[in-house]
Amino acid sequence: MPLPEIPPVTEKLLAAKKAKGLSFADLEKILGRDEVWIAAVFYRQSSASVEEAKKIVAALELDDSVIEELTAYPVKGLGPVVPTDPLIYRFYEIMQVYGLPIKEVIHEKFGDGIMSAIDFTLDVEKEEDPKGDRIKVIMNGKFLPYKKW
Amino acid sequence: MPLPEIPPVTEKLLAAKKAKGLSFADLEKILGRDEVWIAAVFYRQSSASVEEAKKIVAALELDDSVIEELTAYPVKGLGPVVPTDPLIYRFYEIMQVYGLPIKEVIHEKFGDGIMSAIDFTLDVEKEEDPKGDRIKVIMNGKFLPYKKW
Amino acid sequence: MPLPEIPPVTEKLLAAKKAKGLSFADLEKILGRDEVWIAAVFYRQSSASVEEAKKIVAALELDDSVIEELTAYPVKGLGPVVPTDPLIYRFYEIMQVYGLPIKEVIHEKFGDGIMSAIDFTLDVEKEEDPKGDRIKVIMNGKFLPYKKW
Amino acid sequence: MPLPEIPPVTEKLLAAKKAKGLSFADLEKILGRDEVWIAAVFYRQSSASVEEAKKIVAALELDDSVIEELTAYPVKGLGPVVPTDPLIYRFYEIMQVYGLPIKEVIHEKFGDGIMSAIDFTLDVEKEEDPKGDRIKVIMNGKFLPYKKW
Amino acid sequence: MPLPEIPPVTEKLLAAKKAKGLSFADLEKILGRDEVWIAAVFYRQSSASVEEAKKIVAALELDDSVIEELTAYPVKGLGPVVPTDPLIYRFYEIMQVYGLPIKEVIHEKFGDGIMSAIDFTLDVEKEEDPKGDRIKVIMNGKFLPYKKW
Amino acid sequence: MPLPEIPPVTEKLLAAKKAKGLSFADLEKILGRDEVWIAAVFYRQSSASVEEAKKIVAALELDDSVIEELTAYPVKGLGPVVPTDPLIYRFYEIMQVYGLPIKEVIHEKFGDGIMSAIDFTLDVEKEEDPKGDRIKVIMNGKFLPYKKW
Amino acid sequence: MPLPEIPPVTEKLLAAKKAKGLSFADLEKILGRDEVWIAAVFYRQSSASVEEAKKIVAALELDDSVIEELTAYPVKGLGPVVPTDPLIYRFYEIMQVYGLPIKEVIHEKFGDGIMSAIDFTLDVEKEEDPKGDRIKVIMNGKFLPYKKW
Amino acid sequence: MPLPEIPPVTEKLLAAKKAKGLSFADLEKILGRDEVWIAAVFYRQSSASVEEAKKIVAALELDDSVIEELTAYPVKGLGPVVPTDPLIYRFYEIMQVYGLPIKEVIHEKFGDGIMSAIDFTLDVEKEEDPKGDRIKVIMNGKFLPYKKW
Amino acid sequence: MPLPEIPPVTEKLLAAKKAKGLSFADLEKILGRDEVWIAAVFYRQSSASVEEAKKIVAALELDDSVIEELTAYPVKGLGPVVPTDPLIYRFYEIMQVYGLPIKEVIHEKFGDGIMSAIDFTLDVEKEEDPKGDRIKVIMNGKFLPYKKW
Amino acid sequence: MPLPEIPPVTEKLLAAKKAKGLSFADLEKILGRDEVWIAAVFYRQSSASVEEAKKIVAALELDDSVIEELTAYPVKGLGPVVPTDPLIYRFYEIMQVYGLPIKEVIHEKFGDGIMSAIDFTLDVEKEEDPKGDRIKVIMNGKFLPYKKW
């Protein structure tokens, strides 16, 4: 099945969050970290500091054994080469359709280099619209120029 | 080679733009359309209206035969399953690492559905920063809830 | 094996439906939703509302724990890149053979855009025919024109 | 590039059709065949009879050498395993998401077998709608029960 | 491992058949169905009628719960894109080497269409030969001409 | 495009055959070789002897340079991992669905070994049938037992 | 992980062999079969006769249930398309680099045909060398000429 | 087509060799190098010294421009992940079936390490046999133990 | 999930190392082997001698059964064709971008051959830098010239 | 063929360099840039400044049109997912075998983050050794810690 295998700790965290009736936006207020980053910690794509892990454990009333897992440095990535989930696929399609145009514009504005995916933040915002609400995804990454040597 | 085959009209447009010393930002002012969208027209990923195509042709002093190509509805997509160009790959990696977290947050904020990649805009902005300039990519797509029937 | 892993809740639902002697057409009458959509809920490709999930649980005499699963927003998709099941493969073949022709006709009738797979319904009908019954599959999706920006 | 290589005869036909200002719907009237089927002949996915090929050649004022190509039995298929063109991909996604549910419903209505993709027709219709026009795709294939021996 | 996962019911059937000392040829006599088709039922690639399933269960002295499994409509297919088992690979190789020649000959004899793999039978015969016995595989499928519409 | 690139000599042979109005069955009579094998020579999957090549060249009134090409030992195979042409795909599907059952039956009849695809013949026959003509494909390959050492 | 799943019987055999302090060369003496072939039996790639299986079971002091497994006809193959284990990969590389040259030489020496991988033996020998010992792998397969028909 | 693209120089060399009526065995005598290695030079998988290249050019009466090509260091490899040519595929199958057994035996004889595919020779010999001639392929590679550090 | 399955012994070793508060640098001092090589032993990519395994077991206070596992010769490799973990992917990208340039430079300095990945060491060093610390990866492999024969 | 298509400008540069009898080490002295980086410019994986391009053009006595190509920002990457050239494959194998161990050691020394492949240098050195010269590849990339937000 295309469903990526969810680590057990992710399932435990999601279940506790649901039982507590907390949203990621609630956790954002508790941790002082963005909700997307917190969701990435849940999915073991980002690693938390001990303090952050303690706050998560406290908010969700989980036992301390979870702290160790949340602070470990994970092997990252979603897995299937082409994602089949329609929501995630759209981001793949955006890269397929707009990848070269974005590259042209970035090179024109910045020169030869890339947008870092490490020194990087990502926010999801809701834009209310009478014709249908809109999703705003804001990526912000440091420009890294190619080093010459 | 991983390099996607560039259509001849794209090469012609890019060469004329270079010869004219125009940036996509300059074309943005001439057309009243975003530079990323214009770059997508150059790469035959978006189709222009006849008026828009005429403005491009006029600005680049190309012959009218280009208009027909720019207004046709293209077969879209970049091609290679996993892109090897580092700049484009980073967007693929973002989806690999943050795909499921984004999905969680969007579902929490909007319910079951997706962000449209069709009723969609994408802007690239430069954020100056003494520690190194930053690239801001803003995606804005209509939320489409799954229809039940 | 090419068989996509069926989630346990799907197996539970299919077994209960069989034990009850109910068809999807019967469930269509009980829920007021199309049988294909209900089958998609069974396979965790669509999410039900709490009311819909309650009706399913009541009809199949399952316990309430199933409700939570049916209302969660699933990671969607069948999985294997090219399906090996002959019935499902034929739909893949139709896209291989008629994909570009359909694209031409849709663009001619509607302009540059796509048929939504989200604001979308799909019906399966039986057309009796003395030379052999026929299957009618009716897809109905909103046309989404490409936004310019 | 993901763009499937278009056979030269397809380009010749599409160019002539454009020059003549004819739509596939116009050709439907001239040939007495559905516009999707005619588009499939253009893309060398279906083969025409000599009479049909002559009508196409006459309508588009092409030379007779085209007849031979249109009546030959083509090697069929679009090519790229997962299509990257957004319009065509949506049909792939529909199979990914609704493939198993459709299979369940067809088996329930017809027994073990498949919908033929050969004894098969496909129509594209426009459904006008104030909230946005809709695309209707109607597939109609003979049910083929598995033979036992 | 390339070994396709065998469903538990298949293992149960094969073990019972071995314990009973029955060959597929013996089962052919008991069921009045071809041995290859029966082997396909064992591997859950074909579905049996209730009567056929009862005969299998009786011959192998299995409990009735097997009947339900044998009569269900399976998701079909072997799985690995290119089979690694040498015996099965040879059939793949035959298609690689003789696929286009067979296509030419079938089109010449029948016109544009295919050999059905559904309205289809397959027999395996042993041809004794002093220079080494030979395997005869006879496929027999209905010719399905492409429908025009 | 999925269409395997046809070698120029194949196109020359097919065109000459068409111009001469000869079928592969006609060539079968002229060469004393099976029509499928001759089609395989056309597609450069089998190599002819000089005598056979001369007969082909004479029958099609081609120049002698063709002889050299027809007698060379070709690199064989169709190419695309999963064929997209519906006629050829059906043979792939047969292996997907009936591969393991055939393997069971062959092992039962012959022991551990394979059917040779080299010491092998393949015939295509037409079986007239009022309910629709049938295609008979007869494969005949030497059984090769695994050698122990 | 790329590690092919080892069948449980293989692990049992390897563990017993290790506990007994036996090498494959020792088993070669006991069975009168080559060590590579015996290793292939261990990995369920070759099937043993009952006598051979009994000798293996006796030498390793395993219970008789192993005999049945060792005499069954296995589904063969290693699995991953491109092997990642460096030792096994080198053989893949040899085929990548020397495949076409070997083909040329074999055709020149034998005509159109192949080396059988079934009527085939493979030996591994150690060649002592002061500059570093060398591995000698000797493959010996029957030449099978392509049959014409 | 699966046929790897042959470099033009390879075609030139093969054509000249054919015109001269020379076998690789003849070239082996002229160059004092093995016929397989010479065939690898023809296919641009091995690089010749200037002296070797001169001998080849002299024997085939080609012009000196060929020398430069034969002495350059090529990018090596055959290409298609799984070869479709039956002769080359058999070597792939041998690795699929006997890969792990060979690994066991080599480790037992030599310890942890690999057979070099660089400090490596490969010979093809014909073994005459009344029951059918046999092909002997002898690989000889230096054992390279894994270095620890 | 792309996460390669970690063997149980690796998890046991990593957990014990964490519990003991030991770094790989500490183990480097205890074993007299490089930390990267020791990490490779942990991940079952390198095999230890009995003495080395005993030191590891002693340092981590594990039971002796671990020794057997650490001294066995493993099937090696990470698995996923293109790694999705960003840290590991960067090494893949380096090969994509700088692979051919490195090849040119190595051939120029050494002739036709390769850098051994077996007679090979790899060190990771930390280079402190006020603008951001740097990672130094030093690979050192024996040059292996292609043997001619 | 796996050989990545070399851009025409690369062939022109390599030919001129050969004709001039210059090594990359010579160019290193002329440009004041590392030979690997210069080779990357030749292969259009790195972009040169106008000054650097002029020096290259002057040293190789090429015309000025080359300058424009060398200063453009290329689409980067080698292409084939798994490289088949033995020299380049070894780097892929190193990542397969030592990828996870390197990851462990880097995380231990630096925390959660990656080695940049952009703010990055790579040197190839020759280490003379009586037992066989060694290749030293030194990678030096900035450590980029994952940003939290």
* Catalytic annotation, residues of A: 90, 93, 116
Q: How far is A57 from chain D (nearest CA, A)?
A: 36
CA B97 from chain center: how many Å? 22
Residue B71 near residue B48 (C-beta atoms within 8 A): yes
Nearest to F45 by CA among F4, F89, F87: F4
Query: Closest partner residue to J93 among G86, G96, G97, by Cβ?
Result: G86
Question: F109-147 pLDDT, tens per residue?
Answer: 999 999 999 999 999 999 999 999 999 999 999 999 999
Nearest to H76 among J4, J82, J84 (CB): J84
Please provide the average confidence, as pLDDT, over all residues in chain D: 93
Do β-strands B134-145 and C134-145 pair in parallel, antiparallel, or remain unpaired? unpaired
pLDDT tens-digit profile of A60-90?
999 999 999 999 998 999 777 889 999 999 9
Contact C/B (≥3 CB pairs under 8 Å): yes
- How far apart are the C-alpha atoms of F126 and C141, rounded to whole Å? 43
H116 is catalytic: yes
Look at residues G120, G4, E24, G71 and name the one whose alpha carbon lies nearest to residue F100: E24
Phi, psi (degrees; rounded to nearest 5) at E42: -55, -40
> Across the interface, do H95 and G92 touch by the CB < 8 Å criterion?
yes
Query: Which tokens belong to E36?
Result: 């290859």
Q: Do E85 and G79 touch (CB under 8 A)?
A: no
CA distance B81 to B84: 9
- pLDDT-above-90 percentage for chain E: 91
> What is the pLDDT, as a whole number, of residue D2?
39
Q: How many CA atoms lie within 13 A of I63 on its CB side?
A: 2
The CATH number corresponding to J86-145 among 1.10.10.10, 3.20.20.140, 3.80.30.20, 3.30.1160.10 equals 3.30.1160.10
Question: What gap in Å lies between CA H13 and CA H66, rounded to an integer?
Answer: 9
pLDDT at G1 over 60: no
Contact residues on chain J for H117, CB-CB shorter than 8 A? 86
Q: Is the dihedral of CA I98, I103, I108, I109 positive or negative?
A: positive
Across the interface, whether the CB atoms of G115 and H81 are under 8 A apart is answered no
Contact by Cβ (8 Å): G73, F101: no
Q: Would you state the pLDDT for residue A3?
A: 46
- Is residue H114 within 8 A of residue G90, CB to CB? The reply is yes
CB H121 within 8 A of CB G141: no
Cα A104 from Cα A111, distance rounded (Å): 10
What pLDDT digit, counting tens, does each position of H9-58 carry?
999 999 999 999 999 999 999 999 999 999 999 999 999 999 999 999 99
Q: Is residue D140 within 8 Å of C138, Cβ to Cβ? A: no
Residue J8 burial (C-beta neighbours within 10 Å; 0-12, 13-18, 19+):
exposed
> What integer best gives the mean pLDDT of chain H?
92
Q: How far is H100 from chain F (nearest CA, A)?
A: 17
The answer on pLDDT for A1 being more than 60 is no
Nearest CA in chain G to I76: G85
Q: Is the pLDDT of residue G3 over 50?
A: no
pLDDT at A101 over 70: yes
- List the subunits that have 3+ CB pairs under 8 angstroms with J: A, B, G, H, I
From A109's Cα to the closest Cα of chain B, the distance in A is 7
Fold of I8-71: 434 Repressor (Amino-terminal Domain) (1.10.260)
CA distance A51 to I53: 37
- Residue of F33, F44, F42, A93 lying closest to H3 (CA atoms): F44
Residues 6+ apart with CB under 8 A from I114: H118, I106, I143, I144, J86, J87, J90
- Among F82, F84, F97, the residue with its CB nearest the CB of C86 is F97
Residues 6+ apart with CB under 8 A from D122: C94, C98, C102, D34, D36, D37, D137, D138, D139, D140, E149
Kindly list the catalytic residues of G: 90, 93, 116
Return the structure tokens found at G121.
């033996």
- Total count of residues recorded for chain D: 149
User: Is G81 a residue whose pLDDT tops 90?
Assistant: no
At I11 the pLDDT is 93
Answer whether A touches D (≥3 Cβ pairs < 8 Å).
yes
Active-site option among B23, B65, B90, B104: B90
| Rama region for F100: left / alpha / beta (φ>0; ψ in -120 to 50; rest) | alpha
* H or E segment to which residue J127 belongs: strand J113-127
H141 and H111 in contact (C-beta within 8 Å)?
Answer: no
Tell me if chain J has a CB within 8 Å of the CB of I96: yes
The complex scores an ipTM of 0.91
Tokens of G84: 């990642």
Instruction: Report, as ranges of residue numbers, the positions in chain F whose pLDDT lies below 50.
Output: 1-3
How far is residue D92's CA from residue A147's CA, in Å, rounded to a whole number?
42
Mean pLDDT of G52-66: 96
Question: Closest Cα partner for J141 from A113, I136, A114?
Answer: I136
- Cα distances from C110 to residues D20, D34, E115, in angstroms, run 20, 17, 37
What residues does G124 pair with on adjacent strands? Answer: G137
Q: Show residues of chain D in contact with C115, CB under 8 Å.
A: 87, 90, 135, 137
Q: Which candidate in G22, G26, G95 is best for mutational testing of the H interface (most H CBs within 10 A)?
A: G95
* Arithmetic mean of pLDDT, E15-42: 95
For G88, the enclosing helix (H) or strand (E) is helix G86-110
Q: Using one digit for the tens of pLDDT, what is the confidence trace for J82-140?
A: 899 999 999 999 999 999 999 999 999 999 999 999 999 999 999 999 999 999 999 99
pLDDT band at J4 (very low <50, low <70, confident <90, very high): low
**How far apart, in whole angstroms, are the C-alpha atoms of residue H62 and residue H42?**
13
Q: Which residues contact H45 (CB under 8 A, 6 or more apart)?
A: G97, G98, G100, G101, H74, H76
Catalytic residue among D11, D93, D104, D134: D93
| pLDDT per residue of chain B (149 residues) written in tens, 0 to 9 | 334 578 899 999 999 999 999 999 999 999 999 999 999 999 999 999 999 999 999 999 999 999 999 999 989 997 778 899 999 999 999 999 999 999 999 999 999 999 999 999 999 999 999 999 999 999 999 999 999 99
> pLDDT per residue over I20-54, tens digit each?
999 999 999 999 999 999 999 999 999 999 999 99
Model confidence band, residue G37 (pLDDT cutoffs 50, 70, 90): very high
Nearest CA of chain C to the CA of F90: how many Å? Answer: 9
Chain H's closest residue to E92, CA to CA, is H84
pLDDT score for F4: 57
Mean pLDDT to the nearest integer, J19-42: 95
Please identify among residues 32-91 of chain E the ones whose CB lies closer than 8 Å to any CB of chain G. Answer: 82-86
Give yes or no for residue C1 having a pLDDT over 80.
Answer: no
G34 HSE (CA, 13 A, CB side): 20
Calpha distance A111→J73 (Å, rounded): 8
- pLDDT tens-digit readout, A32-49: 999 999 999 999 999 999
Tokens 């492999």: give the residue: I141
How confident is the model at residue G4, as a pLDDT?
57
Amino acid D6: pLDDT: 82
Which positions ≥6 away from G130 have C-beta within 8 Å?
A: none
Is J135's CB within 8 Å of I137's CB? no
* pLDDT at site H2: 39
The answer to whether residue C30 scores a pLDDT higher than 60 is yes
Please report the pLDDT score of residue I37 as a whole number. 96
Average pLDDT over residues I107-119: 95
Residue in the structure block whose two tokens are 């991983």: B2
Q: Do F33 and G149 touch (CB under 8 A)?
A: yes
Average pLDDT of the segment spanning G58-66:
95
Residue spans of the domains in chain H: they are 8-71, 86-145
Question: Measured between beta carbons, which residues in chain F are less than 8 angstroms from residue D7?
Answer: 1
In whole angstroms, how far apart are CA G126 and each of G136, H107, H124, H141, H142? 6, 11, 19, 10, 10
Structure tokens at G4: 């092919």
Smallest Cα–Cα separation from G120: which of H84, H40, H142, H95?
Answer: H95
SS3 content of chain D, % helix, strand, coil (to 5): 50, 20, 35
| Contact call for residues J9 and B3 (beta carbons, < 8 A) | no
The pLDDT value given to residue J81: 85
d(CA J101, CA B127): 37
Give every strand in the sheet of J134-145, ordered side by side.
I113-127, I134-145, J134-145, J113-127
Distance CA H118, CA G86 (A): 13
Q: Is G72 exposed, middle or buried (0-12, 13-18, 19+ CB in 10 A)?
A: middle
**pLDDT for position I1:** 34
